[in-house]
Amino acid sequence: MASRKPAANKTAARPTASKSAAADKRGSGDELHQSAGGAHPPLTTNQGIPVSDNQNSLRATPRGPTLLEDFVLREKITHFDHERIPERIVHARGSAAHGYFELTRSLQKYTTAKLLTEVGKRTPVFTRFSTVAGGAGSVDTPRDVRGFAVKFYTSEGNWDLVGNNIPVFFIQDAIKFPDVVHSVKMEPDRAFPQAGSAHDTFWDFISLTPEAMHMIMWAMSDRTIPRSLRTIEGFGVHSFRLLDAKGNSTFVKFHWRPKLGIQSTVWDEAVKLQAADNDFHRRDLFEAIESGGFPEWEFAVQLFTEKEADKFPFDHLDPTKLIPEELVPLTVIGRMVLDRWPDNFFAETEQVAFCPANIVPGIDFSNDPLLQGRLFSYLDTQLSRLGGPNFHQIPINAPKCPFANLQRDGHMQMQVPKGRVNYEPSSLQADTPRETPAGFRSHATPPDDGAKGRIRAESFADHYTQARLFFRSQTRPEQAHMASSLVFELSKVGTPHVREAIVGHLRHVDAGLAQRVADGLGLDALPPAPPAAVAPKDMKPSPALQIIGKMKDTLQGRCVGILVDDGSDATTIKALRKAVESAGATVKIVAPKLGGAKLGDGRKLPADGQLAGTPSVVFDAVAIVLSDAGGKALAKEAAAVDFVRDAYGHLKAIAADAGAQALLKAGNVGKDKGVVDASDTKAFIAAAKTRQWDREPKVRTLA
């Protein structure tokens, strides 16, 4: 690939003090900074040393590894890692479960890692899902990226695959991680908003960071408002290496694909879920495991060689880029099943410590500059958050295989090492641990051409092509949701030039998208597009990037609510329950009173939820079974009217009998193929397997 060369100058892919370089990286950023007023003091380290480049970490070559001597990077990230005690700075709000990974296809041709070569072997895992921006006490369902971190307790030591439900990231270099997180967190002078990106500081940072535009497309999509943690994909984000017995390397990207398929909410539904149940995702995961409906994911890999990578029209070491499945297909090699809830939330979910540097023989790192910084940052964070260097002795973090070394003492030391030898080499004790030829070996990666420096490779300079690919690969409803989410987010930004700058960037992504967002914001004219270091190109759309187009034709793992009251027909309820449960979903009965309802046959049906506290937003589809008197009574009850109005507005299937018609009328529920007679269970099940996307233009205005 021609762009693998080091940059001939620093204007192609990184900012410098020059006006032309700033234009390449930040568009009109210099002008915006000037408009904020006054000259800026020099940025320095905590020791007062002026910083010449705050955008790129120091690398041996433009595509080479990050260097430990980079004191600017180390100081910046070290300080950032220690800003919060003891809560995680990011990913504080999390839920986790125990389970196992089972290999179904060997990668022995590519790696010596036993968990990837021994078919049928089950490796214990602990998997934690999380939001990024909010604190530990925030809610489950904001628009946010979800962390997807898996700790494999292998026979060769712990392997932590620490990823997200998005395959790319906001930034290309770890030195910018404190900045992107600072920008999305609560604004420091006012301490709001919590767990939300719809505010000035975040979008100001994005407007000056074109490399983030691909991630922004994902963040504004329905991927960041998932229906359940059981229905999110997971990605390792970075390229890693697999090493065979001879040390030969194959690049790999890791993917998790949910057995239930991808499912998301609609925005209004996600907002109302925050009020209905702050713990919606955590409760859903807990109830699935408790009921025996164990969440499951396929584990898949994309494998490619250095020679193949050189032919890609992008740099796979750039963490703001993905490899389309049409270019490198996924190969499924195993599955993960989560089958046990933690015994104690604090001891396990809260104290678990993940670190991308935890890998096993046969797996190795790439020179991805974001990954290189993460290898340092995660370990440094745990020293502060968990009190010292012995956090690996906490049971949830400890390997399940034998381990031994000569590290001693330290805060919270729980082991009692014996003997007089605590160094190596030694000759005084026969049982002290020694290095082994079978131990971990790093790949002998040849150095790239180029001089050491704070410079980004030219191959990282294209910031818009894959953002365009993602948007143009979506279905029309998904594109409308992305445009609408951009309008919503930017409408919360009080600084006009920031809003306008984002719309300018969108012109590089898709002219139609930019116009829709501009119209939604009420802009009189489209702002100019900033200069692009590399002109965006058109790639072939990738249907694999959709949600709607990939939804599975199943009701497995979902939940249907049936609203009843005194006098409801028992036969209809029984038939609906049988059909729903036969399709693999669960049923919950909702009634005006928690004690339940006395049905038409005289029997008392207990309720799983009381109407005022169990709105339709917590269900995937609903059925309304009421007597004539019950329907008329509930038509005057606001909670019941909201129940059906929201189900219709959130595009869910609705089954209703004759007695429910008064309530549907009160909720202004229209007629379409998703609103069926309660006696037609076959039609209801078919409609409940998806959302009624054709209904959406009738119930809300989208950008």
- Summarised one tens digit per residue, pLDDT across range 625-646 is 999 999 999 999 999 999 999 9
**Over 50: is that where the pLDDT of 308 sits?**
yes
Indicate the pLDDT class of residue 57, thresholds 50, 70 and 90.
very high
Looking at residue 517, its pLDDT comes to 98
Indicate the pLDDT class of residue 34, thresholds 50, 70 and 90.
very low
Residue 509 CA to residue 498 CA, distance in Å, equals 17
Of the candidates 393, 417, 439, which is a domain's last residue?
393
Looking at residue 85, its pLDDT comes to 55
Indicate the pLDDT class of residue 24, thresholds 50, 70 and 90.
very low
What residues make up the domain containing 693? 555-699
Cα–Cα separations (whole angstroms), residue 67 to 80, 193, 238: 19, 36, 18
Instruction: Name, in order, each residue with C-beta under 8 angstroms of 589's C-beta and a sequence gap of 6 or more.
Output: 561, 562, 564, 573, 596, 605, 606, 607, 608, 609
Of the candidates 393, 428, 454, which is a domain's last residue?
393
Is-contact 73 57, C-beta < 8 A?
yes
Indicate the pLDDT class of residue 8, thresholds 50, 70 and 90.
very low
Residue 195 lies in a domain: yes
Residue 164 designated active-site: yes
Q: For residue range 466-517, list pLDDT tens digits in order.
A: 999 999 999 999 999 999 999 999 999 999 999 999 999 999 999 999 999 9
The neighbour count for residue 424, using CB atoms within 10 Å, is 11
The neighbour count for residue 60, using CB atoms within 10 Å, is 16
Looking at residue 148, its pLDDT comes to 98
Cα–Cα separations (whole angstroms), residue 190 to 193, 194, 320, 550: 8, 11, 31, 41
Q: For residue range 402-421, list pLDDT tens digits in order.
A: 888 888 888 888 889 889 99
Looking up tokens 């320095």 gives 44
Is-contact 237 164, C-beta < 8 A?
yes
- Give first-to-last CA distance, the chain, whole Å: 39
Looking at residue 113, its pLDDT comes to 95
Looking at residue 703, its pLDDT comes to 95
The neighbour count for residue 595, using CB atoms within 10 Å, is 12
Indicate the pLDDT class of residue 38, thresholds 50, 70 and 90.
low
Residue 462 lies in a domain: no
Looking at residue 81, its pLDDT comes to 82
Q: Mean per-residue pLDDT for 132-156?
A: 96
Residue 552 CA to residue 668 CA, distance in Å, equals 30
How is the beta sheet containing 586-591 ordered, strand by strand?
Answer: 609-610, 586-591, 559-563, 621-624, 654-656, 675-677
Q: Please give the mean pLDDT across all residues of the chain.
A: 92
Residue 155 CA to residue 115 CA, distance in Å, equals 8
Indicate the pLDDT class of residue 33, thresholds 50, 70 and 90.
very low
Residue 365 CA to residue 594 CA, distance in Å, equals 55
**Over 80: is that where the pLDDT of 6 sits?**
no
Residue 186 lies in a domain: yes
What CATH number did the domain enclosing 375 receive? 2.40.180.10
Q: What are 122's strand-pairing partners?
A: 102
**Over 60: is that where the pLDDT of 4 sits?**
no
Looking at residue 207, its pLDDT comes to 98
Looking at residue 3, its pLDDT comes to 43
Task: Choose, from 164, 165, 367, 397, the residue flagged as catalytic.
Answer: 164
Indicate the pLDDT class of residue 434, thresholds 50, 70 and 90.
confident
* Total domain count, the chain: 2
540 residue type, one letter = K
Residue 469 CA to residue 136 CA, distance in Å, equals 35
Residue 390 designated active-site: no
Looking at residue 389, its pLDDT comes to 87
Per-residue DSSP letters for 63-78?
A: TSPBPTT-HHHHHHHH
Q: What are 365's strand-pairing partners?
A: 240
Cα–Cα separations (whole angstroms), residue 621 to 254, 573, 655, 664: 33, 14, 9, 15
Of the candidates 373, 393, 413, which is a domain's last residue?
393
**Over 60: is that where the pLDDT of 15 sits?**
no
The DSSP element (H or E) to which 559 belongs, if any, is strand 559-563
Residue 420 lies in a domain: no
Residue 177 lies in a domain: yes
**Over 70: is that where the pLDDT of 131 sits?**
yes
Q: Mean per-residue pLDDT for 614-621?
A: 98
Residue 453 CA to residue 343 CA, distance in Å, equals 49
Task: Choose, from 56, 91, 158, 199, the residue flagged as catalytic.
Answer: 91
Indicate the pLDDT class of residue 54, thresholds 50, 70 and 90.
confident
| Tokens matching residue 129 | 């899902």
Residue 57 lies in a domain: no
Residue 110 lies in a domain: yes
User: Phi and psi at residue 214, in whole multiples of 5°?
Assistant: -65, -50
Per cent of the chain over pLDDT 70 is 94
Indicate the pLDDT class of residue 2, thresholds 50, 70 and 90.
very low
**Over 60: is that where the pLDDT of 14 sits?**
no
Looking at residue 37, its pLDDT comes to 54
Looking at residue 46, its pLDDT comes to 77
Residue 439 lies in a domain: no
What CATH number did the domain enclosing 690 receive? 3.40.50.880
